């Protein structure tokens, strides 16, 4: 239970800047995910928070207290590692007891045989054993307490690692890709359990992942990291529907968002053969990028594809089909714009529930979309807000 | 009836097993077996000879036709001479004290040093490691004269301390353990740091239990080397009551002995502790050597 503040954290390794000024506030009890491509510095940031690594500059505050100079053990943080990092020569019970033993027993009582000389600590030892059993019960690993890590399955090891982190009521719970070594099914299951754990415990979580699905489904807020900078920190929904930059829009969402180079001239926007009137936003002629999510495009004239009704003014684009991926309940169509074959297009569509036969998409087809689902970005990649697109006078809506 | 049955029951599978083993025997296998047997005999023969001679009177040791079992059994006399008339128990105890003392201090110094070199980041770590490796190449003969002079000045000759002193820090052990510790997973050490382990406890609770084979292998090396060492005890030991077992063997040859039966009995007594050490540590020893071999 703690509030974490990072102020202008910087870190470089031998001349390579890995973190270039990170400012991040994590509220008490919040589940914050750090997402980003491989090598963008997520683990480094987490290790700096935990104290395993020192930042070159910047401040780390836990509940307002600077902890930058404290060793990991002095910060009362718990960390779950990707490879679980269980102590191989100890039983599950011993593994889980370690953080408490280290925190509550003096060093002479922890030495081999220390138990014999410290009968007065019997109460503390019993408390620790009790706490371990309680947490093991919560995680449903109480039947495994006497086993060694080598005798456990991946999912069981994962739970032990979670248990070891949980026993001592940490103020901050750090996880570095804890699910990446599990198979797909188990991953979904443990994902749910971690969310449940967070909901029940009110602990502050910082969760590192490169899997955006994990980040989007589990977190209160997501921090998107790229090349050592935070691109955007927002709730999963607004990150998806309201991205601040073109990089965010491209990173979040699968298949990737559709992007079209566009030109604004005399209040008219033209892209991909579409002409729209544009009002609001910075005036003047400029180059823009127009973006639209793959599921906002609605396919016309394909058999077996549900076409959801569109609202408001619309536009349409002619598409040449290239490939179709069948995902079961939905399909992803890869195509190119008919009049501009160098622009690729991705469309995600639900299958129709009432259609028995296979999906049939013609080689040439039209897609339609609402103008309201368009996103506009400037040439610098920043989102342009306050722009409204309208149907141009000589609209092309065929 | 029942006796025969119970006796023959386990015999039957044994016979078929033997038959199967014979059936799988190719000329190549037979040859391999014979070569191995020959090799084993070459290695074992000196020991057999030593033990056999230790049971004979002197004139029979010189006898031209060698028999493994003595014609005249003098074993009791020889061993009683060694163990009771000569101060062999004292010699053995001296050797034991020196070897155990050396080993204990070597482990206490080498394990933390190796951990630091393998897992801690600090300024000068690379240079320090280079120094350690360079030190492996310095033989004792180079340092023995200054050490001797120093011990003379300090008035410490003919003490257990002087017998152990040059060996208390083993750079070889530091290097061996460093190679072994290097492969210990970084994330487990980091988990331990987050959990509140001190660095010493990381070494004691995590690293050492994983390094038992390396520690065992080095212990056997060290123990055997110092048990058999003649050079340094010869330099610093002056009195009978500090004499080590191997040094005493030399004294036998030079001073008294014409009695070779007794000399061999003494040699047997001196070697047996080594055999015992090796038998106890054998499995871990082999594992330690092969593992460090792969990674080193
Ligand atoms: N100890 C180190 N020494 C030198 N470079 C390092 C060190 N640790 C990390 N780096 C570099 O810093 C960059 C970021 O590493 P980091 O482990 O934080 O990435 P990540 O976002 O966690 O990636 P992944 O998703 O692959 O785990 C990488 O380019 C890496 O090579
Ligand atoms: Mg990482």
- The predicted-structure confidence for A112-169, as pLDDT tens digits, reads as follows 778 888 888 888 999 999 999 999 998 889 999 999 999 999 889 999 999 999 998 8
Q: What residue spans define the domains of chain A?
A: 4-247, 256-391
Pairs of CB atoms within 8 A across A/B: 60
* One domain, residues B35 and B108: no
pLDDT at res. A1: 66
Does B252 score more than 90 pLDDT? Answer: no
Our answer on whether the CB atom of A253 is closer than 6 Å to any ligand 1 atom is no
Predicted local confidence at residue A302, as pLDDT: 84
Find the radius of gyration of the CA atoms of chain B. 25
DSSP code for B204: I
**CA distances to A307, B109, B110, B111, B157 from B169, in Å:** 80, 6, 7, 11, 19
Instruction: Indicate if the pLDDT at residue A280 is higher than 80.
Output: no
Kindly state the average pLDDT of the residues B20-43. Answer: 87
Task: Kindly state whether residues B123 and B262 are assigned to the same domain.
Answer: yes
- Looking at residue B7, its pLDDT comes to 45
One domain for residues B128 and B31? no
Q: Which range among A181-190, A204-213, A274-283 has the greatest average pLDDT?
A: A204-213
Burial class from Cβ neighbours inside 10 Å (0-12, 13-18, 19+) for residue A210 reads middle
Quick check: bond before A30 cis, omega within 30? no
Say which CATH class A256-391 falls into.
Answer: mainly beta
A393 lines ligand 1 (CB under 6 A): no
> Å from A84 to nearest chain B CA?
8
Residues of chain B in contact with residue A170, where contact means CB-CB under 8 angstroms, are none
Orientation of helix B171-182 relative to helix B125-136, angle to 10° = 130
Torsion of CA B198, A34, A331, A328, to 10 degrees: 30
Angstrom CA distances, B137 to A345, A352, B294, stand at: 68, 79, 22
**CB pair distance less than 8 Å for B190 and A82:** no
What distance in Å separates the CA atoms of residue B170 and residue B109, rounded to the nearest whole number? Answer: 8
> Which residue has the least CA distance to atom 8 on ligand 1?
A44
Residue B57: inside a domain, yes or no? no
B182 plus B271 within the same structural domain: yes
| Mean local confidence (pLDDT), B238-259 | 76
Checking if the pLDDT of A52 tops 90, the result is yes
Confidence of residue B12 (pLDDT cuts 50, 70, 90): low
Tell me the average pLDDT across A286-300: 92
Q: Are A9 and A50 a contacting pair, CB within 8 Å?
A: no
Cα Rg of chain A, angstroms = 26
Ligand 1 neighbourhood includes A83 CB (under 6 angstroms): no
Protein residue with its CA nearest to atom 24 in ligand 1: A38
Q: In the structure, what pLDDT confidence band is assigned to residue B255 with cuts at 50, 70 and 90?
A: low
Q: What percent of chain B has pLDDT over 90?
A: 46
Which atom of ligand 1 has the smallest separation from the CA of A47? 18
Q: Among A15, A16, A18, A48, which residue has the most ligand 1 atoms within 8 Å of its CB, making it the best to mutate?
A: A18
Task: Give the model's confidence band at B2: pLDDT under 50 very low, under 70 low, under 90 confident, else very high.
Answer: very low
% of chain A residues with pLDDT over 70? 98
- Where b means 16+ CB within 10 Å and e means fewer, B79-92 reads bebbeeebbbebbb
Q: Same domain, yes or no, for B35 and B111? A: no
Check: CB of residue A7 under 8 Å from CB of residue A58.
yes
**Smallest CA separation from ligand 1 atom 26, residue:** A38
Q: Does B78 have pLDDT greater than 60? A: yes
Whole-number average pLDDT of chain A? 90
**Tally of domains within chain B:** 2
| A127 conformational bin, left if phi > 0, alpha if psi -120 to 50, beta if neither | alpha
Q: Is residue B214 part of a domain?
A: yes
Q: Contact at 8 Å (CB) between A215 and A239?
A: no
**DSSP state letter for B149:** H
pLDDT tens digits, residue range A72-122? 988 989 999 999 999 999 999 999 999 999 999 988 888 877 888 888 888
pLDDT value for B295: 36
Q: What is the pLDDT of residue A395?
A: 43
Whether A89 has its CB under 8 Å from any CB of chain B: the answer is yes
> For residue B54, is it within any domain?
no
Half-sphere exposure of A397 (CA within 13 A, CB side): 15
- Mean pLDDT over A3-17 rounds to 94
- Other CB atoms closer than 10 Å to residue A48's CB: what's the count? 24
Chain A contact set for B198 (CB, 8 A): 107
Q: How far apart are CA B216 and CA B158, in angstroms?
A: 30
Domain-located, residue B80 = no
The CATH number of domain A4-247 is 3.40.50.1260: no
* pLDDT > 90? residue A233: yes
> CB of A228 closer than 6 A to ligand 1?
no
CATH number of the domain where residue B172 is located: 1.10.3720.10
Is A126 an 8 Å CB contact of chain B?
A: no
A123's CB contacts (< 8 A; 6+ apart) are none
CA distance B243 to B252: 12
CA A62 – CA B2 distance, rounded (Å): 81
Q: Are residues B130 and B264 in the same domain?
A: yes
Ligand in nearest proximity to the CA of A12: 1
Please say whether the beta carbons of A137 and A168 come within 8 A: no
The tokens describing B260, both together, are 């070779």
Task: Let me know whether B284 and B204 are in one domain.
Answer: yes
- Report residue A379's pLDDT band, with 50, 70 and 90 as the boundaries: confident
Residues forming beta bridges with residue A261, ordered by sequence position: A289
Q: Which of A260-269, B93-102, B109-118, B287-296 has the lowest mean pLDDT?
A: B287-296
**Minimal C-alpha gap between B193 and chain A (Å):** 6
Looking at the structure, tell me whether residues B254 and B126 fall in a common domain: yes
pLDDT recorded at residue A393: 58
Domain shared by B197 and B112, yes or no: yes
Which tens digit of pLDDT belongs to each residue from B195-223? 999 999 999 999 999 998 889 889 988 99
Give which of A262, A283, A258, A241 is closest to A367, Cα–Cα.
Answer: A258
User: Nearest Cα to B88, choosing from B269, B226, B235, B252?
Assistant: B269
Task: Report if residue B56 sits inside a domain.
Answer: no
Burial of A278 (0-12, 13-18, 19+ CB in 10 A): buried
Q: Give whichever of B19-23, B169-173, B235-239 has the largest mean pLDDT.
A: B169-173
- For ligand 2, a single-atom ion, which residues have Cβ within 5 Å? A 43
Residue B10 structural domain? 1-40
Reported as a single tens digit per residue, the pLDDT across B161-183 is: 999 999 999 999 999 999 999 99
C-alpha distances in Å from residue B5, one per residue of B8, B9, B11, B12, B221:
5, 6, 10, 11, 51
Q: Does residue B144 lie in a domain region?
A: yes
Question: Is there a domain that residue B81 lies in?
Answer: no
CA of A78 to the centre of ligand 1 (A): 21
Residue B214 Cα, gap to closest chain A Cα (Å): 16
Does B75 reside within a domain?
no
User: Do residues B283 and B195 both lie within one domain?
Assistant: yes
Do B17 and B156 lie in a common domain? no
Quick one: average pLDDT of B252-266? 72
A127 touches chain B (CB under 8 A): no
How far apart are alpha carbons A160 and A94 in whole angstroms?
Answer: 11
Task: Give the neighbor-by-neighbor strand order of the sheet with A375-378.
Answer: A375-378, A286-292, A258-265, A268-271, A274-279, A388-391
Dig out the tokens for B247 from the structure. 């040094």
- Distance from C-alpha of B274 to C-alpha of B270, rounded to nearest angstrom: 8
């Amino acid at each position: 239970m703690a509030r974490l503040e990072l102020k202008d954290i910087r870190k470089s390794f031998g001349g390579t800047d890995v973190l270039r000024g990170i400012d991040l506030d994590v509220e008490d009890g919040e589940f914050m995910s750090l997402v980003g491509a491989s090598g963008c510095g997520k683990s480094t940031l987490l290790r700096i928070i935990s104290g395993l690594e020192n930042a070159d500059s910047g401040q780390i505050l836990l509940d307002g207290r600077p902890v930058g100079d404290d060793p990991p053990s002095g910060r009362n943080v718990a960390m779950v590692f990707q490879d679980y990092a269980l102590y191989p020569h100890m039983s599950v019970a011993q593994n889980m007891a370690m953080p408490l033993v280290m925190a509550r027993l003096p060093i002479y009582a922890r030495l081999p045989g220390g138990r014999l000389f410290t009968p007065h600590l019997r109460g503390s030892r019993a408390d620790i054993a009790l706490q371990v059993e309680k947490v093991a019960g919560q995680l449903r690993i109480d039947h495994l307490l006497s086993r060694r890590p080598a005798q456990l399955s991946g999912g069981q090891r994962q739970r032990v690692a979670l248990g070891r982190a949980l026993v001592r009521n940490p103020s901050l719970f750090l996880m570095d890709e804890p699910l990446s070594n599990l198979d797909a099914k188990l991953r979904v299951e443990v994902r749910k359990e971690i969310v449940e754990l967070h909901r029940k415990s009110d602990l502050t979580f910082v969760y590192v992942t490169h899997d955006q699905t994990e980040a989007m489904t589990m977190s209160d807020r997501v921090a998107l990291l790229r090349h050592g900078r935070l691109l955007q920190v927002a709730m999963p929904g607004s990150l998806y529907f309201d991205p601040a930059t073109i990089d965010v829009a491209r990173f979040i969402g699968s298949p990737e968002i559709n992007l079209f180079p566009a030109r604004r001239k005399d209040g008219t926007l033209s892209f991909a053969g579409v002409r729209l009137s544009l009002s609001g936003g910075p005036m003047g002629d400029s180059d823009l990028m127009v973006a639209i999510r793959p599921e906002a495009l609605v396919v016309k004239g394909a058999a077996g594809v549900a076409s959801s009704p569109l609202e408001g003014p619309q536009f349409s684009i002619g598409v040449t089909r290239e490939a179709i991926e069948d995902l079961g309940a939905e399909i992803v169509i890869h195509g190119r714009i008919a009049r501009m074959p160098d622009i690729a297009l991705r469309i995600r569509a639900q299958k129709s529930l009432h259609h028995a036969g296979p999906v049939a998409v013609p080689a040439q087809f039209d897609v339609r979309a609402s103008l309201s689902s368009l996103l506009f970005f400037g040439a610098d990649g920043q989102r342009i807000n306050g722009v409204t697109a309208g149907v141009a006078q000589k609209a092309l809506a065929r | 009836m029942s006796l025969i049955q119970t006796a023959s029951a386990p015999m039957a599978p044994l016979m078929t097993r033997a038959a199967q083993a014979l059936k799988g025997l190719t000329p190549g296998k037979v040859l391999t077996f014979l070569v191995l047997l020959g090799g084993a005999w070459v290695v074992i023969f000196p020991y057999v000879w030593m033990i056999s001679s230790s049971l004979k009177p002197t004139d029979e040791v010189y006898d031209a036709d060698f028999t493994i079992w003595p014609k005249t059994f003098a074993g009791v006399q020889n061993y009683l001479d060694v163990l009771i008339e000569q101060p062999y128990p004292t010699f053995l105890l001296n050797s034991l004290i020196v070897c155990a003392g050396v080993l204990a201090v070597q482990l206490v110094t080498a394990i933390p040093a190796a951990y630091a070199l393998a897992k801690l980041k600090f300024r000068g770590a690379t240079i320090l490691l280079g120094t350690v490796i360079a030190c492996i190449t310095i033989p004792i003969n180079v340092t023995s004269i200054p050490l001797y002079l120093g011990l003379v000045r300090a008035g410490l000759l003919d003490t257990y301390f002087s017998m152990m002193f040059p060996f208390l820090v083993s750079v070889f052990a530091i290097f061996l353990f460093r190679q072994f510790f290097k492969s210990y997973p970084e994330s487990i050490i980091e988990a331990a740091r987050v959990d509140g382990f001190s660095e010493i406890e990381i070494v004691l609770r995590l690293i050492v239990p994983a390094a038992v084979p390396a520690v065992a292998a080095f212990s056997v090396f060290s123990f055997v080397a110092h048990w058999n060492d003649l050079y340094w005890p010869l330099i610093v030991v002056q009195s009978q009551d500090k004499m080590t077992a191997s040094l005493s063997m030399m004294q036998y040859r030079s001073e008294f002995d014409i009695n070779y039966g007794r000399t061999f009995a003494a040699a047997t007594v001196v070697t047996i502790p080594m055999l015992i050490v090796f038998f106890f540590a054998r499995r871990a020893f082999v594992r330690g050597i092969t593992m460090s071999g792969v990674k080193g």
